[in-house]
């Protein structure tokens, strides 16, 4: 295991939402779990995040949204990842205030994992390890 390349995770907040407690806790937890974490900060566009993920060859894009704009912004995030042609090897996950009734919609549009507020750090880590996509 020790000679395996660490999982690389890009974390970011899209739009104007400033709630960053959760994403910072997740950033630390994933780092403490041995992953390479790049937290880009807030007020980013989906294209900025996708470009960074492509240039870093990231395994995971983790988006935090507590703004209620998850449908519009996650659709835009998936499309931005498609433009960078990284969907096949990059896991896209979102955390925050996503109502249960909307989780299916997010999965349909190409979001791999949804972690609503109250999710445990262990569950997030496990999901990433189990669902990480093989790199071509």
| Contact call for residue 110 and another protein (CB under 8 A) | no
**111 and 93 Cβ atoms separated by less than 8 Å:** yes
How far is 53 from 79, CA to CA, in rounded Å?
Answer: 13
Q: Closest Cα partner for 6 from 44, 40, 56, 43?
A: 56
**Candidate ranges 11-19, 83-91, 106-114, 128-136; the one touching another protein (CB under 8 A):** 11-19
3 CB neighbour count, 10 Å cutoff: 4
| Contact call for residue 53 and another protein (CB under 8 A) | no
Q: Tell me which of 8, 48, 52, 68 binds another protein, using CB under 8 A.
A: 68
| Contact call for residue 120 and another protein (CB under 8 A) | yes
| Contact call for residue 67 and another protein (CB under 8 A) | yes
| Contact call for residue 59 and another protein (CB under 8 A) | no
- CB-count exposure of residue 93 (10 Å: 0-12, 13-18, 19+): buried
The binding site for another protein (CB under 8 A) comprises 15-21, 23-25, 27-29, 39-43, 45, 67-69, 71-73, 97, 99-100, 116-118, 120-122
């Amino acid at each position: 295991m020790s000679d395996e390349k660490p999982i690389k995770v890009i974390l970011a907040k899209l739009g104007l939402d400033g709630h960053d407690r959760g994403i910072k806790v997740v950033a630390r937890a994933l780092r403490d779990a041995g992953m390479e974490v790049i937290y880009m900060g807030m007020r980013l566009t989906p294209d900025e995040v996708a470009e960074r993920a492509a240039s870093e060859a990231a395994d995971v894009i983790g988006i935090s949204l507590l703004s209620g704009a998850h449908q519009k912004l996650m659709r835009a995030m998936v499309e931005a990842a498609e433009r960078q042609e990284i969907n096949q090897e990059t896991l896209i996950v979102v955390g925050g205030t996503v109502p249960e009734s909307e989780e299916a919609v997010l999965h349909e549009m190409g979001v791999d994992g949804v972690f609503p507020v109250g999710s445990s750090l262990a569950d997030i880590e496990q999901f990433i390890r189990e669902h990480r996509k093989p790199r071509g």
